[in-house]
Chain A
Amino acid sequence: MREINGADISAAVARMCMSANTKLPDDVRRKFEEGLAGETTDAGREIFRQLLENADLAFETKLPLCQDCGLAIFYVEMGEDVCVPGGINEAITEGMVTGYKDGFLRKSSCDPLTRKNTGDNTPAIIHIDFVPGDGLKISYMAKGGGSENMSRVTMLSPSQGWEGIKKFVVQRVVEAGPNPCPPIILGIGIGGTFETAPKNAKRALLRKLDDTHPDPKVAEMEAELLAAVNKLGIGPMGLGGSYTCLGVKIAVAPCHIASLPLAVNVQCHSARHEEVEF
Chain B
Amino acid sequence: MATYTLNTPLTAADTDKLRAGDVVLLNGIIYSGRDAAHKKLMELLDKGESLPFDLTGASIYYVGPSPAPPGRPIGAAGPTTSYRMDAYAPRLIGLGLKATIGKGKRSDEVKKAMAEHKAVYFGATGGAGALLSKCITASKVIAFDELGPEAVREMTVKDFPLLVINDAHGGELYAKPNLDD
Contact = CB atoms under 8 A, between A and B. Distances in A.
Q: Do A and B bind each other?
A: yes
Interface string B48-70: 00000000000000011111110
B130 A63 contact: yes
Given A238-B104, A238-B175, A268 B127 contact: yes
A108 B104 contact: no
B65 A146 contact: no
B81 A65 contact: no
B80 A68 contact: yes
A91 interface: no
Given A268-B126, A270-B127, A117 B149 contact: yes
Interface string B139-175: 0000000011110000000000001000000000111
A104 interface: yes
Interface string A54-91: 10011001111111110000000000000000000000
Nearest to A238: B174
A53 interface: yes
Interface string A218-243: 00000000000001111101111100
* Chain B binding surface, main DSSP class: loop
A106 B67 contact: yes
A115 interface: yes
B75 A63 contact: yes
A145 B150 CA distance: 14
B149 A239 contact: no
A115 B178 contact: no
A149 interface: yes
Contact of A104 (B35, B39, B68, B134): B68
B88 interface: no
Interface in A115-141: 115, 117, 119
B90 interface: no
A61 B104 contact: no
A61 B133 CA distance: 11
B131 interface: yes
B76 A181 contact: no
Contacts of B80: 68, 145-146
A177 B76 CA distance: 24
Contacts of A263: none
B81 A117 contact: no
Contact of B149 (A65, A106, A146, A238): A106
A57 B130 contact: yes
Interface in A45-59: 47, 50-51, 53-54, 57-58
Interface string B93-108: 0000000000111000
Nearest to A55: B130
B128 interface: yes
A117 B151 CA distance: 11
Given A50-B128, A57-B130, A67-B75, A177 B173 contact: no
A67 B174 contact: no
A31 interface: no
Interface string A79-116: 00000000000000000000000001111100000010
B127 A64 contact: no
Interface string A257-278: 0000000000011100000000
B83 A179 contact: yes
Interface of A: 43, 47, 50-51, 53-54, 57-58, 61-69, 104-108, 115, 117, 119, 145-146, 149, 173-174, 177-181, 231-235, 237-241, 268-270
Interface of B: 35-36, 39, 63-69, 72, 75-78, 80-81, 83, 103-105, 123, 125-131, 133-134, 147-150, 163, 173-175, 177-179
6 contacts: A54-B125, A65-B129, A177-B104, A181-B127, A233-B175, A234-B175
8 pairs of A and B residues whose beta carbons are closest in the complex: A240-B175, A179-B104, A181-B126, A106-B66, A67-B76, A54-B131, A58-B130, A67-B129
Given A68-B129, A104-B75, A146-B126, 9 more contacts: A65-B76, A66-B128, A67-B64, A68-B80, A106-B75, A106-B76, A149-B81, A177-B105, A179-B103
